A and B are shown apart, each in its own frame.
Chain A
Amino acid sequence: MIILINLLNMDKIMDNDKNKIKSIIDEYSGSKGALIPILQKTQATFGYLSEESMTIIAEALNISSSDVYGVATFFAQFRFTPVGKYVIRVCHGTACHVGGVKILDAMLKSKIGIKNGETTKDGLFTIQEVACLGCCSLAPVVMINDTTYGKLTNEKLGKIIDTYVQAEKEGKTL
């Protein structure tokens, strides 16, 4: 049913998205070195960078789409597939590494049933391994969207994940 509605609204959504990207580009018109901020804002709006969005950006900035793709793939921040509602960033910094993030990581992956870079089928979670979140004295650390959780144990992280799942059931966003 949902798929059907999406198909019917496809053109409309596309136009709407195009306009959103164009207004992002307009914000930066005239400022130098705008490509990366535009890509960042586009990703913040849509959750990832689609091929279409990069093509629109390339055309507007009058550079080749391979240049845009080249910049986007160089930086770790950019994603090219849709992500879940909550991105779980698991810190693999030095302190977290020696502080046992391996155990935590294994528990997390088996609990929600996905690997690094994947998204759960219900679209709720994406796991992303990151180099360092800079909260080293609180190792091991994970960040769920913009909230940082420290001094984690399997039990603690398990409970945190449960609160997100529960909130979703109640139709809330944390």
Chain B
Amino acid sequence: MIRIKVGTATCGNAAGAQKVFDKFKELSLNDKDISLEETGCIGMCYVEPIAEVAVSGEKYLYGPVDEKIAELIFQDHVKGGKPVEKYVLSNTSNEYKFNKQRRIVLRNTGVIDPEKIDDYLARDGYNGLKKALAKKPEEVIQIVLDSGLRGRGGAGFPTGMKWKFANSSKNDKKYVICNADEGDPGAFMDRSVLEGDPHSVLEGMLICGYAIGANEGYVYCRAEYPLAIKRLIDAIKQAKERNLIGDNILGSNFSFDIHIKEGAGAFVCGEETALMASVEGKRGMPRLRPPFPAVSGLWTKPTNINNVETFACVGYILSNGAESFNKYGTEKSKGTKVFALAGKINNGGLVEVEMGIPLREVIYDIGGGIKDGKKFKAVQMGGPSGGCIPEHLLDTKVDYESLMATGAIVGSGGMVVLDEDSCMVDVARYFLNFTQNESCGKCAFCRIGTKRMLEILNKICDGKGEESDIADLMDLAAKIKNSSLCALGQTAPNPVLTTLKYFEDEYVAHIKDKKCPAGVCTALINFTINDKCIGCQLCKKVCPVAAISGSAKVKHQIDQDVCIKCGACYKACKISAIDKK
């Protein structure tokens, strides 16, 4: 039997994986010796679409594959037995390029067909649930406590502790919620897990339900992830058919049902009390805690909320024991963490590493360094709640405490690499604009304070900054942090504070010299054509707004009133005839 797998997660599909899959399907039609399967995200987004061919146990990973290459692979390798070396990424049967990576959460993602429960079962799936059901709920909680697992949504609260609180609340009705409202821009870990291994999340929820004494659960997933929602619906249906969800699960006294709620697009709903308000059909606004959800949560019943990645760890921990998880990581941060590597990095994608690995290794050894040979400037971690870590702190260990000390956070796992062409004031403004838009408006400082901070940042980027601006930003930041009810407001100033801490010189250059050193802030730069211009018309062709005029072989002109300063002409010109000042 020859197995062909194509990675058809959203990222693969965006790169054209569906066409590749269809091509293989057409070619292998009626061939009983070939099994064609879909799988989730293989992690190497930079070489999507990816296909794997396994002939008598020996696996070859190909990418990027298009329809023509698919045909070639099919003829030469599948039919002819000769791998098409030119497009082979790796052929070491299991490891591929996962050097320095440790896969627990992503143990099945990109390996199994997420739409087939048998694939999951064949890889120890639901074994954790079986083991849990044979124990007392308190014993299950103890194992989770012993594993050292902490919440992977960002806050890092010990999961076992959370379960213990929910377990000790006495009530006839309790709920489990899976927070799949992955709202941080620059993060796609949860989407990949849901698309690639939905059962691992459901298994985690079931174990949690058993441990805290709940019989109903909700997955709150953002509507922007249609494929994740589809795979969850399919997975729940299949699990019900196998009596893994429903009444008297696997012959026990434990019954549990899982529903899906689609989020309607509000970043603040990542906050647990806001999320619950939204599930109840209200405006997603956070409320004061206590009472904590473990005491009074969804519809005032005790509720336990964990993130997708947290739940995906639980089945593994129960199946393999606490030591299988806590043997990895640092003293206070155990296990592994998934990161979404993106931005100006060569090998962007999904990576899972041991807690405690230095940032430098993630970016250079796994991520393959900076794109186009440019210079590293900073890595943005934790999205709008996080911060930018500069080069001199690249040896910082990736764990909750070490990252917190830099002013950034582990966060949910977004890791966006910035190079010399990124303006740090612009990046700070970008995040402030985001949190300002997403502030629910309940707390005055979050609602109005972020607006004032954004205005100051806009002013600086427009070249109208004043010397008092930096002090005003610091003052507002402190007040917003202290006077906001939920984490959105409490962390909103972080991107500004870390860029001020590590890149104050860029702020000063904008304010005093009216210059943007990275050449990003459009009000501070101008593009003009110099005398080197030979009238080749290349710039004219790439200009998105038709601001460039001039006939062939005659020096061109840029209409400054029309120019949006996108820099497309600057990049396109081959003879340095365009000045950027």
Q: Beta-carbon contacts of B214-241 to A below 8 Å, as 1s and 0s?
A: 0000000001111000000000000000
A136 in complex: contacting residue of B188, B422, B437, CB < 8 Å: B188
Q: For the complex, what is the distance from the CA of A93 to the CA of B280, rounded to whole Å?
A: 28
- Selecting from A6-14, A80-88, A99-107, A115-123, the interface stretch reads A99-107
Interface pair A106/B414, CB less than 8 Å apart: no
CB-CB under 8 A from B414, the residues of chain A are 94, 136
Known A103-B544, A131-B185: A138·B14 in contact at CB below 8 Å = yes
Interface pair A110/B546, CB less than 8 Å apart: yes
Q: Which residue of B lies closest to A74 (CB)?
A: B283
Known A33-B281, A70-B283, A75-B265: A154·B542 in contact at CB below 8 Å = yes
Interface pair B11/A137, CB less than 8 Å apart: yes
Q: Which residue of B lies closest to A67 (CB)?
A: B282
Interface size on B, residues (CB 8 A): 64
Interface pair B185/A40, CB less than 8 Å apart: no
Known A76-B266, A77-B264, A103-B567: A133·B430 in contact at CB below 8 Å = no
Considering the complex, which residues of chain A in the window 118-174 have a beta carbon less than 8 Å from any beta carbon of chain B? 130-139, 141, 146-151, 154
Q: For the complex, what is the distance from the CA of A103 to the CA of B341, rounded to whole Å?
A: 23
Q: For the complex, what is the distance from the CA of A71 to the CA of B269, rounded to whole Å?
A: 13
Q: Which residue of A lies closest to B228 (CB)?
A: A134
Report if B120 contacts A (CB, 8 A).
no
Q: For the complex, what is the distance from the CA of A131 to the CA of B430, rounded to whole Å?
A: 11
Interface pair A36/B46, CB less than 8 Å apart: no
Interface pair A132/B184, CB less than 8 Å apart: yes
Q: For the complex, what is the distance from the CA of A141 to the CA of B348, rounded to whole Å?
A: 14
- In this complex, the member of A35, A36, A133, A136 whose beta carbon has the largest number of chain B beta carbons within 10 angstroms is A136
Q: For the complex, what is the distance from the CA of A106 to the CA of B266, rounded to whole Å?
A: 26
CB-CB under 8 A from B184, the residues of chain A are 132
Q: Beta-carbon contacts of B396-428 to A below 8 Å, as 1s and 0s?
A: 000000000000000000101010001000010
Known A40-B262, A136-B340: A110·B544 in contact at CB below 8 Å = yes
CB-CB under 8 A from B188, the residues of chain A are 134-136
B11 in complex: contacting residue of A36, A39, A135, CB < 8 Å: A135
Interface pair B284/A94, CB less than 8 Å apart: no
Q: Which residue of A lies closest to B182 (CB)?
A: A134
CB-CB under 8 A from A92, the residues of chain B are 185
Report if A20 contacts B (CB, 8 A).
no
Interface pair B416/A98, CB less than 8 Å apart: yes
Report if B45 contacts A (CB, 8 A).
yes
CB-CB under 8 A from A99, the residues of chain B are 343
Report if B380 contacts A (CB, 8 A).
yes
Known A94-B342, A110-B545, A137-B341: A148·B10 in contact at CB below 8 Å = yes
Report if B278 contacts A (CB, 8 A).
yes
Interface pair A39/B264, CB less than 8 Å apart: yes
B457 to chain A minimum Cβ distance, whole angstroms, is: 14
Report if B213 contacts A (CB, 8 A).
no
Interface pair A94/B14, CB less than 8 Å apart: no
CB-CB under 8 A from B517, the residues of chain A are none
Report if B15 contacts A (CB, 8 A).
yes
Known A39-B264, A102-B566, A133-B224: A150·B185 in contact at CB below 8 Å = no
Report if B199 contacts A (CB, 8 A).
no
Interface pair A135/B14, CB less than 8 Å apart: yes
CB-CB under 8 A from B265, the residues of chain A are 75-77
Q: For the complex, what is the distance from the CA of A141 to the CA of B342, rounded to whole Å?
A: 13
Interface pair A78/B264, CB less than 8 Å apart: yes
Report if B197 contacts A (CB, 8 A).
no
CB-CB under 8 A from B285, the residues of chain A are 74
Report if B145 contacts A (CB, 8 A).
no
B518 to chain A minimum Cβ distance, whole angstroms, is: 10
Q: Beta-carbon contacts of B316-353 to A below 8 Å, as 1s and 0s?
A: 00000000000000000000000011111000110000
Q: Which residue of B lies closest to A102 (CB)?
A: B566
Interface pair B568/A94, CB less than 8 Å apart: no
Report if B113 contacts A (CB, 8 A).
no
Q: For the complex, what is the distance from the CA of A131 to the CA of B435, rounded to whole Å?
A: 10
Q: Which residue of A lies closest to B266 (CB)?
A: A75
Interface pair A36/B13, CB less than 8 Å apart: no
Q: Which residue of B lies closest to A72 (CB)?
A: B264
Give the top 8 A-B pairs by smallest Cβ distance, nearest first. A107-B544, A137-B45, A137-B348, A136-B342, A76-B265, A75-B264, A132-B185, A94-B186
Q: What are 6 A-B pairs with beta-carbon distances under 8 A? A: A36-B261, A74-B283, A94-B185, A95-B343, A132-B183, A136-B188
Q: 19 new A-B pairs (CB below 8 Å) besides A103-B567, A132-B185? A: A32-B299, A33-B279, A35-B282, A39-B264, A40-B223, A71-B282, A94-B380, A95-B348, A98-B418, A102-B564, A103-B566, A104-B544, A134-B187, A135-B14, A137-B340, A137-B341, A138-B15, A146-B226, A154-B544
